[in-house]
Amino acid sequence: MKTRIYFVRHGETDYNVQHRFQGSTDNPLNERGLEQVSCLWQPMSRIYLDKIYVSPYKRTMQTAKQVLAGRDIPVIPEPRLCEIHCGQWEGLVREQIEERWPGMIELWEHHPDELQMQDGESFKQVQDRSFEAFKEILEKEAGKSVAIVTHMLTIQLIMSKLLGIPIREVWDMVRLENTSITTIDFSSNNEFEVIKWGEDAHLHDYLKNPYVRIAGFVQKNRAKYDTSFVEGKHPFTL
Protein backbone atom coordinates (compact mmCIF):
# COMPACT_ATOMS: atom_id res chain seq x y z
CA MET A 1 0.00 0.00 0.00
CA LYS A 2 1.37 3.38 -1.01
CA THR A 3 0.37 6.87 -0.02
CA ARG A 4 1.16 9.47 -2.66
CA ILE A 5 1.83 13.07 -1.66
CA TYR A 6 2.09 16.03 -4.03
CA PHE A 7 3.67 19.12 -2.48
CA VAL A 8 2.71 22.22 -4.48
CA ARG A 9 4.22 25.64 -3.84
CA HIS A 10 1.99 28.69 -4.34
CA GLY A 11 2.33 31.14 -7.23
CA GLU A 12 4.14 34.46 -7.24
CA THR A 13 3.14 37.49 -5.12
CA ASP A 14 4.32 41.09 -5.22
CA TYR A 15 6.42 40.47 -2.10
CA ASN A 16 8.22 37.66 -3.95
CA VAL A 17 9.11 40.09 -6.74
CA GLN A 18 10.15 42.83 -4.31
CA HIS A 19 12.17 40.37 -2.20
CA ARG A 20 10.28 41.32 0.95
CA PHE A 21 9.91 38.98 3.87
CA GLN A 22 6.37 37.73 3.43
CA GLY A 23 5.84 35.08 6.08
CA SER A 24 2.33 35.27 7.51
CA THR A 25 1.41 38.44 5.58
CA ASP A 26 -1.69 37.34 3.69
CA ASN A 27 -0.91 38.61 0.19
CA PRO A 28 -2.82 37.41 -2.86
CA LEU A 29 -1.12 36.25 -6.03
CA ASN A 30 -0.04 38.96 -8.45
CA GLU A 31 -0.93 38.90 -12.15
CA ARG A 32 2.07 36.73 -13.01
CA GLY A 33 1.28 34.42 -10.11
CA LEU A 34 -2.27 33.95 -11.36
CA GLU A 35 -0.91 33.02 -14.77
CA GLN A 36 1.56 30.60 -13.16
CA VAL A 37 -1.13 28.78 -11.17
CA SER A 38 -3.37 28.55 -14.24
CA CYS A 39 -0.66 26.29 -15.68
CA LEU A 40 -1.30 23.81 -12.85
CA TRP A 41 -4.79 22.98 -14.09
CA GLN A 42 -3.69 20.69 -16.93
CA PRO A 43 -1.14 18.49 -15.10
CA MET A 44 -3.16 18.31 -11.88
CA SER A 45 -6.42 17.50 -13.68
CA ARG A 46 -4.77 14.29 -14.89
CA ILE A 47 -3.80 13.26 -11.35
CA TYR A 48 -6.28 11.44 -9.15
CA LEU A 49 -6.61 13.13 -5.75
CA ASP A 50 -8.63 12.10 -2.71
CA LYS A 51 -8.08 15.35 -0.81
CA ILE A 52 -6.23 18.66 -0.93
CA TYR A 53 -4.73 20.14 2.23
CA VAL A 54 -3.83 23.80 2.05
CA SER A 55 -2.26 26.57 4.08
CA PRO A 56 -5.20 28.98 4.64
CA TYR A 57 -3.64 32.06 3.02
CA LYS A 58 -4.91 33.84 -0.09
CA ARG A 59 -1.89 32.89 -2.18
CA THR A 60 -2.16 29.19 -1.32
CA MET A 61 -5.96 29.04 -1.55
CA GLN A 62 -5.81 30.62 -5.03
CA THR A 63 -3.21 28.01 -6.00
CA ALA A 64 -5.29 25.17 -4.54
CA LYS A 65 -8.22 26.21 -6.74
CA GLN A 66 -6.14 25.34 -9.80
CA VAL A 67 -4.96 22.08 -8.23
CA LEU A 68 -8.63 21.26 -7.72
CA ALA A 69 -9.10 21.69 -11.49
CA GLY A 70 -12.89 21.92 -11.32
CA ARG A 71 -13.35 18.62 -9.49
CA ASP A 72 -15.39 17.78 -6.43
CA ILE A 73 -12.49 17.07 -4.06
CA PRO A 74 -12.42 18.11 -0.37
CA VAL A 75 -10.12 21.11 0.22
CA ILE A 76 -9.04 21.23 3.85
CA PRO A 77 -7.36 24.34 5.34
CA GLU A 78 -4.56 23.41 7.75
CA PRO A 79 -3.04 26.36 9.69
CA ARG A 80 0.03 24.35 10.73
CA LEU A 81 1.09 24.33 7.06
CA CYS A 82 1.43 28.14 7.04
CA GLU A 83 4.68 29.87 6.17
CA ILE A 84 7.08 31.01 8.88
CA HIS A 85 5.82 34.01 10.84
CA CYS A 86 8.50 36.67 10.36
CA GLY A 87 7.35 38.99 13.16
CA GLN A 88 8.77 42.50 12.83
CA TRP A 89 10.61 41.48 9.66
CA GLU A 90 7.43 41.12 7.63
CA GLY A 91 7.21 43.51 4.69
CA LEU A 92 10.88 44.50 5.01
CA VAL A 93 13.74 43.91 2.58
CA ARG A 94 17.11 42.58 3.74
CA GLU A 95 18.79 46.00 3.75
CA GLN A 96 16.19 47.37 6.19
CA ILE A 97 16.62 44.35 8.45
CA GLU A 98 20.40 44.64 8.44
CA GLU A 99 20.11 48.33 9.33
CA ARG A 100 17.76 47.68 12.26
CA TRP A 101 19.20 44.37 13.48
CA PRO A 102 22.83 44.08 12.35
CA GLY A 103 24.03 40.53 11.83
CA MET A 104 20.58 38.94 11.64
CA ILE A 105 20.61 38.47 7.86
CA GLU A 106 23.86 36.54 8.30
CA LEU A 107 21.98 34.15 10.60
CA TRP A 108 19.10 33.87 8.12
CA GLU A 109 21.46 32.84 5.33
CA HIS A 110 24.11 30.78 7.11
CA HIS A 111 22.84 29.81 10.58
CA PRO A 112 19.04 29.56 10.30
CA ASP A 113 18.95 27.12 13.20
CA GLU A 114 20.13 29.95 15.48
CA LEU A 115 17.74 32.59 14.15
CA GLN A 116 14.83 33.99 16.16
CA MET A 117 13.20 36.86 14.32
CA GLN A 118 11.81 39.65 16.49
CA ASP A 119 8.26 38.57 17.48
CA GLY A 120 8.47 35.76 14.92
CA GLU A 121 9.01 32.02 14.75
CA SER A 122 12.18 30.00 14.69
CA PHE A 123 12.84 27.51 11.89
CA LYS A 124 12.53 24.71 14.47
CA GLN A 125 9.07 25.89 15.52
CA VAL A 126 7.93 25.90 11.89
CA GLN A 127 9.40 22.46 11.28
CA ASP A 128 7.78 21.01 14.41
CA ARG A 129 4.27 22.29 13.67
CA SER A 130 4.33 21.57 9.94
CA PHE A 131 5.79 18.10 10.37
CA GLU A 132 3.20 17.30 13.02
CA ALA A 133 0.47 18.23 10.53
CA PHE A 134 2.21 16.24 7.81
CA LYS A 135 2.40 13.09 9.97
CA GLU A 136 -1.29 13.37 10.78
CA ILE A 137 -2.11 13.67 7.07
CA LEU A 138 -0.05 10.56 6.30
CA GLU A 139 -1.75 8.58 9.02
CA LYS A 140 -5.26 9.77 8.19
CA GLU A 141 -4.90 9.43 4.41
CA ALA A 142 -2.93 6.16 4.30
CA GLY A 143 -3.20 4.51 0.91
CA LYS A 144 -4.65 7.62 -0.71
CA SER A 145 -3.46 10.37 -3.06
CA VAL A 146 -3.20 13.82 -1.50
CA ALA A 147 -2.01 17.27 -2.57
CA ILE A 148 -0.52 19.64 0.00
CA VAL A 149 -0.50 23.26 -1.19
CA THR A 150 1.83 25.32 0.93
CA HIS A 151 5.01 27.46 0.99
CA MET A 152 8.64 27.05 0.00
CA LEU A 153 10.24 27.11 3.44
CA THR A 154 7.47 24.96 4.91
CA ILE A 155 8.08 22.28 2.26
CA GLN A 156 11.85 22.57 2.67
CA LEU A 157 11.60 22.08 6.44
CA ILE A 158 9.27 19.08 6.16
CA MET A 159 11.57 17.53 3.57
CA SER A 160 14.73 18.26 5.56
CA LYS A 161 13.15 16.41 8.50
CA LEU A 162 12.28 13.45 6.28
CA LEU A 163 15.74 13.36 4.70
CA GLY A 164 17.67 13.86 7.94
CA ILE A 165 19.15 17.18 6.79
CA PRO A 166 19.96 19.59 9.67
CA ILE A 167 18.00 22.85 9.79
CA ARG A 168 21.31 24.70 9.49
CA GLU A 169 21.64 23.23 5.98
CA VAL A 170 18.06 23.76 4.83
CA TRP A 171 19.21 26.36 2.29
CA ASP A 172 21.66 23.80 0.85
CA MET A 173 18.73 21.89 -0.65
CA VAL A 174 17.57 22.65 -4.19
CA ARG A 175 14.84 25.21 -3.63
CA LEU A 176 11.44 25.29 -5.18
CA GLU A 177 10.03 27.39 -8.02
CA ASN A 178 6.60 28.99 -7.67
CA THR A 179 3.95 26.30 -8.47
CA SER A 180 6.54 23.52 -8.50
CA ILE A 181 5.24 20.01 -7.83
CA THR A 182 7.17 17.54 -5.68
CA THR A 183 5.88 13.95 -5.85
CA ILE A 184 6.55 11.41 -3.07
CA ASP A 185 5.39 7.85 -2.43
CA PHE A 186 5.27 6.49 1.12
CA SER A 187 5.30 2.69 1.32
CA SER A 188 4.16 0.35 4.05
CA ASN A 189 7.68 -1.15 4.16
CA ASN A 190 9.20 1.80 6.04
CA GLU A 191 10.54 3.76 3.13
CA PHE A 192 9.58 6.67 0.95
CA GLU A 193 10.56 7.58 -2.57
CA VAL A 194 10.88 11.07 -3.98
CA ILE A 195 9.64 10.49 -7.52
CA LYS A 196 10.20 14.07 -8.67
CA TRP A 197 11.55 17.11 -6.86
CA GLY A 198 10.31 20.57 -7.82
CA GLU A 199 8.79 19.73 -11.21
CA ASP A 200 8.00 22.92 -13.12
CA ALA A 201 7.68 21.68 -16.70
CA HIS A 202 4.07 22.86 -16.70
CA LEU A 203 5.25 26.49 -16.59
CA HIS A 204 5.87 28.42 -19.78
CA ASP A 205 9.48 29.55 -19.99
CA TYR A 206 8.57 33.21 -19.47
CA LEU A 207 6.87 32.29 -16.17
CA LYS A 208 9.97 30.62 -14.75
CA ASN A 209 12.63 32.43 -12.71
CA PRO A 210 16.34 31.96 -13.47
CA TYR A 211 16.97 31.80 -9.73
CA VAL A 212 14.60 30.95 -6.92
CA ARG A 213 14.82 33.72 -4.36
CA ILE A 214 13.49 34.15 -0.85
CA ALA A 215 13.64 37.70 0.46
CA GLY A 216 16.52 38.49 -1.89
CA PHE A 217 18.61 35.44 -0.96
CA VAL A 218 19.63 33.74 -4.21
CA GLN A 219 19.87 29.99 -4.58
CA LYS A 220 23.33 29.13 -5.88
CA ASN A 221 23.73 27.04 -9.02
CA ARG A 222 25.09 24.10 -7.07
CA ALA A 223 23.28 22.77 -4.02
CA LYS A 224 24.85 20.40 -1.51
CA TYR A 225 21.66 18.34 -1.49
CA ASP A 226 20.83 18.33 -5.18
CA THR A 227 18.15 16.35 -7.00
CA SER A 228 20.46 13.31 -7.25
CA PHE A 229 20.50 13.21 -3.44
CA VAL A 230 16.83 14.01 -2.87
CA GLU A 231 15.20 11.90 -5.56
CA GLY A 232 15.05 8.17 -4.98
CA LYS A 233 14.31 5.90 -2.01
CA HIS A 234 14.95 6.75 1.64
CA PRO A 235 14.24 5.01 4.96
CA PHE A 236 11.23 6.31 6.83
CA THR A 237 9.66 5.94 10.28
CA LEU A 238 7.00 8.15 11.87
CATH number of the domain encompassing residue 119: 3.40.50.1240
The predicted model scores a pTM of 0.96
CA distance 225 to 207: 25
- Give the model confidence (pLDDT) of 36-93 as tens digits: 999 999 999 999 999 999 999 999 999 999 999 999 999 999 999 999 999 999 999 9
Tell me the residue range of the domain where 155 lies: 2-235
CA neighbor of 35 nearest in space, from 75, 71, 63: 63
- Give the model confidence (pLDDT) of 196-224 as tens digits: 999 999 999 999 987 777 777 776 656 88
Instruction: Please state the domain count of the chain.
Output: 1
CA distance 38 to 17: 19
